[in-house]
């Protein structure tokens, strides 16, 4: 958390004197990218190409030039990780890559390909997801003065509010799968070979579980949302994501309390099938220091 606070302060320091910024590209993307890159073990200067690659993948339309650019950026990242794995095997450091290089499965060490695959997943899952949650929340707080006021006056509410924002503004919405056999599920016939969209985010709005699920309730009790998944495949970075999100929201409310999103210039993701969020959120506020 101290490292996350330092990174967030550094990022906001860079634009707060101007009184304007893009809440995505100047804040919500750089902070998770820097934190995750440093935590995993990338050189500090790698955070920007990593952030651009992941944001291009999530924010682009399928088949577009930007999607191709994102794919190329992810391939660059894979080659970078391969080099770092070789370095860490020779000279381990206090980072995630070194940790993974020293792990075993059923008595054998992890291979280079396995470490690279895990790091790729950590990068893809650790950056633009928190960016999406933060951006959606800042838009909500801009249009709901009562929620902004409550969080500003009582920062302790941010803990429960984080779970509510995760429930309502889940970055990861669904996943596609192909049926391997004929089956009937919920009175719906699914044939072998058909594509099936699994929108797990729908569980967050189940009226049998959540009272008034379409409303944002900052202190909602028993908030067992599915935004981090459940069971064995629950998000490994959930606690890190919460810490980054809370620090960014806290500092925005403290240092930019009158921020206003320029709604006529907001740019959403081009595609919302798997991931959702904002590609750009221009905002203005009283200049600070």
Rounded Cα gap, residues 47 and 25, in angstroms: 13
Confidence label for 58 from pLDDT (cuts 50, 70 and 90): confident
d(CA 141, CA 28): 15
User: Can you give the pLDDT at residue 105?
Assistant: 92
- Token pair listed for 82: 């391969």
Structure tokens at 237: 């970075």
Instruction: Name the nearest CA neighbour of 35 among 179, 237, 212, 194.
Output: 237
Q: Is the pLDDT of residue 273 over 80?
A: no
What does residue 234 show for φ and ψ, rounded to 5 degrees?
-60, 145
Strands 108-109 and 104-105 come out as antiparallel
Neighbouring C-alpha atoms within 13 Å toward the C-beta of 271 = 16
Q: What would the mean pLDDT of 181-196 be, rounded to a whole number?
A: 95
Residue 233 contacts residue 181 (beta carbons within 8 Å) = no
User: In this predicted model, what pLDDT tens digit does every residue of 96-126 receive, in sequence order?
Assistant: 999 999 999 999 999 999 999 999 999 988 8
Specify the pLDDT at position 80.
95
pLDDT classification of 230: cutoffs 50, 70, 90 = confident
Residue pLDDT, tens place only, 78-94: 999 999 999 999 999 99
Place of tokens 């798997």: 274
Q: Are strands 188-190 and 183-185 parallel, antiparallel or unpaired?
A: antiparallel
Non-local (6+) Cβ contacts of 43 within 8 A are: none
Contact 236, 118 (CB under 8 A): no
Residues counted in the chain: 289
CA distance 116 to 85: 8
| pLDDT tens digits, one per residue of 31-40 | 999 999 999 9
Residue 47 pLDDT exceeds 80: yes
């Amino acid at each position: 958390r101290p490292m996350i606070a330092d990174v967030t302060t550094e990022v906001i320091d860079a634009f707060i004197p101007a009184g304007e910024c893009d809440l995505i590209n100047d804040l919500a993307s750089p902070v998770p990218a820097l934190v995750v890159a440093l935590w995993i073990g990338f050189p500090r200067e790698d955070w920007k190409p990593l952030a651009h690659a992941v944001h291009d993948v999530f924010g682009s339309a399928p088949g577009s030039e930007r999607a191709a650019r994102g794919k190329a950026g992810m391939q660059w990242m894979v080659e970078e990780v391969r080099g770092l794995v070789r370095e860490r095997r020779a000279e381990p450091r206090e980072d995630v890559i070194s940790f993974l290089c020293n792990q075993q499965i059923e008595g054998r060490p992890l291979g280079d390909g396995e470490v690279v695959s895990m790091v790729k997943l950590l990068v893809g899952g650790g950056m633009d997801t928190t960016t999406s949650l933060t951006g959606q929340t800042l838009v909500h707080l801009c249009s709901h003065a009562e929620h902004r006021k409550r969080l500003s006056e009582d920062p302790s509410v941010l803990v429960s509010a984080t779970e509510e924002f995760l429930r309502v503004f889940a970055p990861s919405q669904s996943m596609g799968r192909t049926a391997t056999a004929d089956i009937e599920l919920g009175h719906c016939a699914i044939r072998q070979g058909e594509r099936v969209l699994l929108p797990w985010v729908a569980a967050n709005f189940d009226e049998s579980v959540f009272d008034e699920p379409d409303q944002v309730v900052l202190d909602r009790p028993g908030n067992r949302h599915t935004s981090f998944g459940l069971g064995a495949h629950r998000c490994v970075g959930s606690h890190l994501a919460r810490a980054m999100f809370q620090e960014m929201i806290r500092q925005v409310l403290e240092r930019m309390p009158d921020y206003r999103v320029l709604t006529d210039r907001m740019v959403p993701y081009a595609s919302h099938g798997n991931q959702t969020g904002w590609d750009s959120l221009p905002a203005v506020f009283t200049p600070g220091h």
